[in-house]
Amino acid sequence: MGIKKDRKVSFDAMVKFFMNQYSIPTKKDVGELVKRLESMESTIKGVLESDAGKQPEVKKKKQGKTSGRGAQSASNMVLDVIRGSHTGLGFSEVREKTGFDEKKLRNIIFRLNATNRIVRKSRGLYVIAKN
């Protein structure tokens, strides 16, 4: 069996290892970030100078998706569809009537069930909760 000889590690190698291990930025990394910031600042300054005489446009926030039946929320749409059936509706039937994609509908049904507005009668069958 051979005996391991102690290898001396240079100080620079240790510093580089720790900087890499703990994600400490180097002078080169900081210099690149400064260049990118300066580039972004000059772009913003150029846009602001070209739009100096214009009023900034304010975008209106959307209230939510509607299906043209007025300003009804998605949750209320699902509630109305389920309320229309006395025996309850399955997931696929609700999806057909509302037109929502699967992920959105699952989130809505989960939220309605958590707030006790609907009840799961059985797996995939939902009815309006009786309050």
127: which residues sit within 8 A by CB, 6+ positions away?
82, 85, 87, 88, 118, 119, 121
pLDDT digits (tens, 9 = 90+) for 69-113: 556 788 888 888 888 887 888 888 988 988 888 999 999 989 998
pLDDT for the residue numbered 103: 92
Specify if 46 maps to a domain.
yes
CATH code at position 87: 1.10.10.10
| Number of structural domains in the chain | 2
Specify if 63 maps to a domain.
no
Residue 124 belongs to what domain range? 74-128
Specify if 59 maps to a domain.
no
Specify if 110 maps to a domain.
yes
pLDDT digits (tens, 9 = 90+) for 29-48: 889 989 999 998 888 888 88
Looking at per-residue pLDDT, the higher value among 7 and 77 belongs to: 77
3-state SS assignment for residue 56 = coil
pLDDT for the residue numbered 72: 78
pLDDT for the residue numbered 63: 52
Residue 61 pLDDT greater than 70, yes or no: no
pLDDT for the residue numbered 89: 87
Specify if 67 maps to a domain.
no
Residue 68 pLDDT greater than 60, yes or no: no
pTM over 0.85: no
Specify if 97 maps to a domain.
yes
Specify if 68 maps to a domain.
no
Residue 52 pLDDT greater than 70, yes or no: no
Query: Is 112 within 8 Å of 77 (Cβ atoms)?
Result: no
Specify if 6 maps to a domain.
no
